[in-house]
Amino acid sequence: MSDAALVPDVGPDDHVSGPGSAPLTLVEYGDFECPYCAMAYPIVHAIRRELGDQLRVAFRHFPLKESHPHAQHAAEAAEAAAAQDAFWAMHDRLFENQHALEDADLVEHARRIGIDPGLVERALDDGTYTRRVRDNFRSGVRSGVNGTPTFFINGIRYDGAWSDEGAFLRALRDAR
């Protein structure tokens, strides 16, 4: 663990899975086009299954637009899905289909998860969620994030090996 703190704390505007009463909170700053985030995706899922109601997970956008030209719109599409109560379905779909992140693909992903693809398309065209994604990115910068994925356990940045599921799980259990 490091001494870098999460700013702001998890709140009502965050995309959260798991009970608010959970003793452990894992926050991920991620980029839907980042290959390392795609590697972390099944690890986080396994940890969620292992810890169950002991863990709540929040995801914040940190699109590295210069390296990943589709990341910004992918994040905005996830926000458009969130407006239709489908953030986590879109989150999973994007990581599972990371090779397909063009705008037309994002609209198709919306259709595949059962939400209104027209609303997603309009949100991308209008930049409806550009500011929200930028606010997530800025909170990451304030929290000391400089790459993806970056994780925080109970508000403190985790600098350990997230790719080692056992070590990551031990760090979470130790934080309890």
pLDDT of residue 176: 86
Whether 168 has a pLDDT exceeding 90, the answer reads yes
pLDDT for residue 147 = 96
Report the percent of the chain where pLDDT is more than 90. Answer: 97
- Segment 140-161 shows an average pLDDT of 97
Could you tell me which CATH class the domain 15-175 is placed in?
alpha beta
Which distant-in-sequence residues (6+ apart) come within 8 Å of 100 by Cβ? 108, 109
* Residue 3 in this model has a pLDDT that exceeds 80: no
Distances (CA, A) of 79 to 38, 52, 54, 127, 150: 18, 25, 26, 11, 20
Tens of pLDDT, residues 31-83: 999 999 999 999 999 999 999 999 999 999 999 999 999 999 999 999 999 99
pLDDT value at position 58?
Answer: 98
Average pLDDT for 152-157? 97
Mean pLDDT (whole number) for 119-130: 98
Give the span between the Cα atoms of 124 and 103, in whole angstroms: 8
For position 169, what pLDDT does the model report? Answer: 95
Query: 76-103, pLDDT tens digit by residue?
Result: 999 999 999 999 999 999 999 999 999 9
Is 1 a residue whose pLDDT tops 60?
no
What's the whole-model pTM score?
Answer: 0.96
The encoded tokens of residue 128 equal 């409806």
Sign, Cα dihedral of 127, 129, 134, 140: negative
Q: Which of 68, 41, 63, 36 is nearest to 133 (CA)?
A: 63
Higher-scoring residue by pLDDT: 35, 176: 35
